[in-house]
């Protein structure tokens, strides 16, 4: 190497020395490294940090040797402004040859990235720089990964734990407690999971680190938040359940009043159906009248239970009971209305026959045939059947039809037009 090449090489090595020193000091002051030194580590983090501590010690040993070698080259170059041939030969050897020797004591018997520990190692300055870069990248990767997990997860776990604490207080206020409600058991399970998760994250952060595939940059990856996310989703499910219970607490009285009203209407309708059934049996003959059941004792008992739950603020039990009761009460009211309709059907048929008979009589009267003996006879027969008790509907209907046919026979020949009775039967 000539003098200019030597000076350029020294300038480059000085710049590398400064950059390495800056990086080492930054690593030394890194918050993640300080946390790793002070933490009670377990698992994979404990194992990898022990190896990384040796790598950092080896890194400083390499740097000290590099600094000493570079200083000796500077001193040799500073002897003469114009170095001799021998000086240039020695400078070339120191700058390009394996001029740096590290003994086992300096290496602390530490393993290298490429194999087991050696008693001595010889390096060129370029090789030493490469070795330091490898050790630095490896050490920084671990420190950054641990720091990223510690920065991301414990704070989030603490926030979720605070939310969990508030949710537990709210749950207890509405009777959602362990052993009494599934959501109370879920809260206990989430509490235990968050406690265990936080302890593991603090003592073994690298167990929660997912390296980025194909990434060679230090700290390439992301914290594994899977367990935290599952706990957060479970807590959100519990919160929705508690919100439902709170909603019940707010409008429980109104819902109970509505339920009592629906069941009361169902009972009144059934009572009306029972009364109507007696009337039908007394007034209508030869008719099948369905039986009418009494009010639902089960629903009344459940309504009383619901009121008891509300009285004792057992909202978690009241919520599902009200849901089922509201549907069953509507079904009971519908059943009562259908029963009333079925029971009063014969009376409706009789009323329809009466209306039809009177309508034909009025039409016959308009045509001046009200005094016809046949019509009077058949009208009186049908009317006696429809207005007597018990009324045989089948016989009464036949009587009405006979009156209709007689009226039609008299009216059709005399008048054909809008008022004729074709098809009336």
Q: What is the pLDDT of residue 121?
A: 77
Give the best-scoring range by mean pLDDT among 27-41, 51-65, 192-206, 245-259.
192-206
Q: What is the pLDDT of residue 268?
A: 92
Task: Compute the average pLDDT of residues 150-154.
Answer: 92
Q: Given phi > 0 = left and psi -120 to 50 = alpha, else beta, which region is 99?
A: alpha
Task: Compute the average pLDDT of residues 290-297.
Answer: 81
Task: Compute the average pLDDT of residues 320-348.
Answer: 88
Closest CA to 141 of 47, 52, 57, 18: 52
Higher confidence at residue 229 or residue 82? Answer: 229
Higher confidence at residue 82 or residue 236? Answer: 236
Q: Are 17 and 67 in contact (CB under 8 A)?
A: yes
> Could you tell me the pTM of the whole model?
0.58
Q: How confident is the model at residue 44 (pLDDT cuts 50, 70, 90)?
A: very high
Q: Given phi > 0 = left and psi -120 to 50 = alpha, else beta, which region is 102?
A: beta
Q: What is the pLDDT of residue 200?
A: 95
Radius of gyration of the chain (CA): 50
Closest CA to 358 of 350, 420, 413, 393: 350
Q: Mention every residue, 6+ apart, whose C-beta is less than 8 A from residue 369.
A: 375, 407, 410, 411
Average pLDDT, the chain: 83
Angle at 197 between CA 196 and CA 200, to 5 degrees: 85
Q: Are 104 and 120 in contact (CB under 8 A)?
A: yes
Q: Are strands 221-223 and 284-285 parallel, antiparallel or unpaired?
A: unpaired
Three-state DSSP at 124 gives coil
Task: Compute the average pLDDT of residues 403-408.
Answer: 85
Token pair 């235990």: residue: 192
Q: What is the pLDDT of residue 424?
A: 45
Phi/psi at 211 (5° precision):
-65, 145
Higher confidence at residue 230 or residue 123? Answer: 230
Lowest-confidence range among 87-101, 142-156, 294-308, 384-398?
Answer: 87-101
Higher confidence at residue 155 or residue 395? Answer: 155
């Amino acid at each position: 190497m000539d003098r200019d090449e030597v000076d350029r090489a020294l300038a480059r090595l000085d710049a590398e020395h400064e950059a390495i020193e800056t990086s080492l000091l930054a690593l030394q002051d890194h918050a993640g490294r300080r946390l790793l030194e002070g933490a009670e580590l377990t698992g994979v983090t404990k194992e990898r940090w022990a190896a990384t501590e040796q790598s950092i010690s080896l890194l400083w040993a390499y740097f000290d040797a590099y600094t000493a070698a570079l200083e000796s080259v500077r001193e040799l170059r500073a002897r003469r402004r114009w170095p001799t041939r021998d000086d240039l030969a020695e400078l070339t050897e120191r700058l390009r040859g394996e001029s740096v020797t590290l003994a086992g004591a300096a290496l602390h018997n530490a393993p290298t990235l490429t194999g087991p520990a050696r008693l001595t190692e010889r390096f060129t300055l370029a090789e030493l720089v490469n070795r330091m870069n490898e050790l630095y990248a490896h050490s920084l990767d671990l420190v950054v990964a641990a720091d990223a997990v510690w920065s991301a997860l414990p704070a989030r776990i603490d926030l979720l734990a605070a939310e969990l604490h508030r949710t537990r207080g709210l749950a207890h206020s509405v009777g959602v407690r362990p052993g009494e409600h599934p959501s109370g058991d879920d809260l206990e399970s989430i509490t235990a999971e968050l406690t265990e998760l936080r302890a593991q994250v603090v003592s073994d952060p690298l167990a929660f680190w997912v390296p980025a595939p194909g990434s060679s940059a230090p700290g390439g990856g992301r914290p594994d938040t899977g367990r935290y996310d599952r706990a957060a989703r479970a807590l959100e499910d519990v919160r929705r359940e508690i919100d439902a219970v709170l909603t019940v607490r707010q409008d429980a009285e109104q819902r109970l009043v509505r339920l009592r009203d629906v069941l009361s209407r169902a009972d009144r309708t059934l009572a009306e159906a029972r009364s109507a059934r007696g009337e039908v049996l007394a007034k209508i003959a030869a008719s099948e009248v369905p039986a009418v059941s009494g009010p639902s004792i089960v629903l009344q008992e459940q309504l009383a239970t619901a009121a008891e739950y509300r009285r004792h603020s057992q909202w978690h039990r009241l919520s599902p009971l009200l849901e089922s009761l509201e549907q069953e009460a509507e079904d009971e009211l519908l059943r009562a209305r259908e029963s009333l309709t079925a029971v009063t059907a014969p009376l409706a048929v009789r009323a329809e026959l009466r209306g039809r008979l009177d309508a034909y009589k009025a039409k016959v009267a308009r045509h001046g045939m009200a005094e016809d003996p046949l019509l009077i006879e058949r009208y009186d027969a049908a009317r006696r059947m429809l207005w007597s008790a018990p009324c045989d509907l089948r016989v009464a209907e036949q009587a009405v039809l006979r009156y209709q046919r007689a009226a039609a026979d008299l009216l059709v020949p005399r008048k054909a037009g809008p008022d004729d009775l074709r098809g009336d039967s």
